[in-house]
Amino acid sequence: MLPPLTARLRTFVARLFRREIAPGRFETGVAESWRGTVTAAPLAEPSREYVVYVPRGWSRWRRAPLLVLCHGCRQTAESLAALVKVVEHADREGMLVLLPKQSDAANRFGCWNWFDSNTERGNGEAAILAAQLVAVRRRYRARRERVWVAGLSAGGGLAAIVGLRYPRLVRGVFVHSGLACGAASGAVAALAVMQKGPDTDVAAIAQGARLAQRSDPPLNVALLVVHGDRDEVVAPINATALIHQYLRFNGHVAGDAAYLSSEPLPPSDEFFEERRDSYPTRTNDWKRDGRPLVRHILVEGLGHAWSGGDGRFGFADPHGPDALDLFARFARETASSGSSRASDVAASRAIGS
């Protein structure tokens, strides 16, 4: 009887320590904020549904990074996940992905209301997105020091707002073909701003957001901007404005001079070009403590489309470098040396984020 008992015991131990890797899966949820009323759509409920991709092999006992990925106009969370190939990237990086869903009641074109005055101040859809982020971070035990918010076009505009208004919640922001926080003075001005650049002082908005922080010293939020030089929907000047804004928000630009669309960007700390089988890129880095704080990647030949996306979908150009690969590299570099953000996180915990 002993050999069969020993064999059963060995089989049990083998199953216990050599479990099969769990496959990735999509899950759904909803979150709301009492501050989530949108000025442009006051009758819309202050809540939004969302989708979460849980990567292959995820475990509650090993905290994973979290990427919040906001779709653009005339897109859905599901279509954006498909066109950026998020499953492939999330499985490889071991990354949770939160995909917020806009409601028809809030915007009939599926756009996030980046131009809404309430949202720009950190209420409205920015507050709803922050509520989703916190809910998912807690439910899946995500690593709070490795939370990033990203978005395409209007989704990028919303991501830029969340970075400025909720720096305690995010490590960094990735804006693809998007706009600065508060770039438009209102909904009527939004189309003109997309073509000509901000009609507001976006640097002053950044300075106000920095001064409003309850942390001393203020928290920094890294920024990656990817934009096509042939974007005729959101002009590249909006990328320039966004960089000005985050340099000021992160204390990189001294003085009180307001941003003007005619002003050049301050000299970068590093510039490099890459020419490959895909579209060439020109990259500028503004650094702090040897790490990139703000990175601008201009993709030559790219229009208003996700670089390296699945060409079967609209707003995707497969000929560009894979934008999520560019993001993954930037995220690694911002966390590769030093522990400055660790002190930021300690400060954020002390003030109750």
| Confidence (pLDDT) at 21 | 73
| Confidence (pLDDT) at 343 | 40
SS3 content of the chain, % helix, strand, coil (to 5): 35, 20, 45
Write the CB contacts of 40 (distance below 8 Å, at least 6 apart in sequence). Answer: 107, 113, 115, 116, 187
Q: Domain of 244: which CATH number?
A: 3.40.50.1820
Residue 279 in any domain: the answer is yes
Is 11:4 a contact under the CB 8 Å cutoff? Answer: no
Q: What is the pLDDT of residues 13-47, one digit of tens each?
A: 555 555 567 888 999 999 999 999 999 899 999 99
Query: Is the Cα dihedral 109, 322, 175, 177 positive or negative?
Result: negative
Residue 8 in any domain: the answer is no
Is 67:161 a contact under the CB 8 Å cutoff? Answer: no
Measure CA 73 to chain center: 16
| Confidence (pLDDT) at 265 | 85
Residue 46 in any domain: the answer is yes
Round to whole Å and give the CA distance between 40 and 165.
Answer: 19
Q: What is the pLDDT of residues 71-86, one digit of tens each?
A: 999 999 999 999 999 9
What backbone torsions phi and psi does residue 3 show, to the nearest 5 degrees? -55, -45
Query: Is the Cα dihedral 221, 226, 232, 235 positive or negative?
Result: positive
| Confidence (pLDDT) at 277 | 80
Mapped onto helix, strand or coil, the DSSP state of residue 147 is: strand
| Confidence (pLDDT) at 20 | 65
In one-letter notation, the amino acid at residue 217 is P
Residue 13 in any domain: the answer is no
pLDDT in tens, the chain (353 residues): 445 666 666 655 555 555 567 888 999 999 999 999 999 899 999 999 999 999 999 988 889 999 999 999 999 999 999 999 999 999 999 999 999 999 999 999 999 999 999 999 999 999 999 999 999 999 999 999 999 999 999 999 999 999 999 999 999 999 999 999 999 999 999 999 999 999 999 999 999 999 999 888 899 999 999 999 999 999 999 999 999 999 999 998 644 444 454 567 899 999 999 987 889 999 999 999 899 999 999 999 999 999 999 999 999 999 999 999 999 999 999 986 444 444 444 433 432 33
Round to whole Å and give the CA distance between 147 and 143.
Answer: 7
Residue 189 in any domain: the answer is yes
Q: In what order do the strands lie in the sheet with 291-299?
A: 25-32, 47-54, 96-100, 66-70, 147-152, 172-176, 222-228, 291-299, 281-288, 270-274
60: domain range?
A: 22-350
Tokens found for residue 174:
């990735």
| Confidence (pLDDT) at 207 | 94
| Confidence (pLDDT) at 276 | 79
Residue 17 in any domain: the answer is no
Per the listing, tokens 């804006």 go with 175
Round to whole Å and give the CA distance between 73 and 315.
Answer: 10
Residue 57 in any domain: the answer is yes
Round to whole Å and give the CA distance between 22 and 36.
Answer: 36
Q: Put residue 29 in one of left, alpha, beta given phi > 0 → left and psi -120 to 50 → alpha.
A: beta
Q: What is the pTM of this model?
A: 0.89
Q: How many domains, in total, are found in the chain?
A: 1
Residue 25 bridge partners (DSSP):
54
Helices then strands, counting H and E runs in the chain, come out as: 11, 12
| Confidence (pLDDT) at 222 | 98
